[in-house]
Structure 1
Amino acid sequence: MIGARLGIDVGKARIGVSRCDPLQTLAVPLETVPRTSGATGIDDDIARIAELAAKYSVVDIVVGLPLSMSGQQTASTRDAEEFALALAQHLRSSNAKITVRLVDERLSTVSASRQLQQAGLRTKKTRGIIDQAAAVVILQHAIDMDRYATAAVGRLVGTDI
């Protein structure tokens, strides 16, 4: 599927967002969104991501799925799944034709932190930047994997609603 995509790194306090060009060549940092949604439903964070998706004519959103190194689910895994489902439901209720997929993101934040340190940025003062950089790692990984796969990588969210 050709078109711009968003990458999402869901955290407890912040959500890193990245985007790519319509030809899906390169992921770049976009924004850090304060985390406001929870089990109660749609809040400002999901609405902001939907606004970004509309602004950039996004066709697909890739949400990082944080698994343990052994591949097991954690509390963060469930949080990312719930967020992705709420986002997919919000997009569907808005009649947006945007898919939402969960993609394994093990070590994305570690990789992003190392890249920023190598660039000379101190991580304590750049937490929001780390979130965006992790979203870049997640999206770029999905772009690269999709280029060589016969089907889109990850697990589609919200197709049974």
Structure 2
Amino acid sequence: MERILGLDIGKQKIGIAMSDLLGMTAQPKATIRSKNLEEQMQKILDLIKENSIKEVVVGLPKDINGGDGEQALWTKSFVEKLCLKNENIKIIYIDERYTSKLALKNLSHMSMKKVKDKELIDSLAAASILETYLRQKENGVI
């Protein structure tokens, strides 16, 4: 089996998570901090290549009614550009409306410095997005 990449995409920060080789667990890995779109994409493409990623799970920030708001449309545009640079990856979108809140809740149970917390929030949100996908896949929902 291969690792699956999870992304929590923002305009300035992108949370990164990765599954284990069995596709059973999701671990937070890093946060890409950059306002440069090309730099963000290149770092993601490097991770995809280094880890032989075939599937990428992307958190889609739906609006309160479940529709695609401005941020969701921006995220889809980012992903479309990413796919133009690597057509061999399968993209799966997961509703991410509550992942940042869940990440903050998980952080409240840990004893870490606030600076470290900020570094972890986006990657924990990405892990939550990926974990949601893994559970849905395991339960036959997807």
Superposition TM-score, scaled by structure 1 size: 0.80
Correspondence for 2:25? 26
- CA deviations on 1:22-57 (whole Å, 9 max, x unpaired) are 2101100111112421xxxxx011111011011111
Deviation at 1:125, TM superposition (A): 5.3
- Identical aligned residues as a percent: 26
Rounded Cα–Cα distance in structure 2 between residues aligned with 1:71 and 1:122: 35
| 1:50-69 aligned within 5 A | 50-69=45-64
Among residues 110, 114, 133, which one is paired with 1:119 in the alignment?
110
RMSD of aligned alpha carbons: 1.7
Q: Size of the alignment, in residue pairs?
A: 141
Among residues 61, 71, 74, which one is paired with 2:69 in the alignment?
74
Rounded Cα–Cα distance in structure 1 between residues aligned with 2:18 and 2:115: 24
| Gapped regions of structure 2 (runs ≥ 5) | none
- CA deviations on 1:42-97 (whole Å, 9 max, x unpaired) are x01111101101111111001100012321222111111111111111112xxxx2
1:140 aligns with 2:139: no
Superposition TM-score, scaled by structure 2 size: 0.90
Rounded Cα–Cα distance in structure 2 between residues aligned with 1:58 and 1:125: 27
SS in 2 for 1:126: helix
Rounded Cα–Cα distance in structure 1 between residues aligned with 2:124 and 2:31: 10
The one-letter code of the counterpart of 2:8 is: D
Deviation at 1:123, TM superposition (A): 5.2
| Gapped regions of structure 1 (runs ≥ 5) | 38-42, 154-161
Correspondence for 1:102? 93
Higher helix share: 2
Specify whether residues 121 and 72 from structure 1 end up closer, same or farther in structure 2 by C-alpha distance, changes over 3 A only.
farther
Specify whether residues 82 and 20 from structure 1 end up closer, same or farther in structure 2 by C-alpha distance, changes over 3 A only.
same
- CA deviations on 1:101-158 (whole Å, 9 max, x unpaired) are 22111100010011101213465652221000000000010011011226xx4xxxxx
SS in 2 for 1:102: strand
Q: Report which structure shows greater RCO (CA 8 Å, sep ≥6).
A: 2
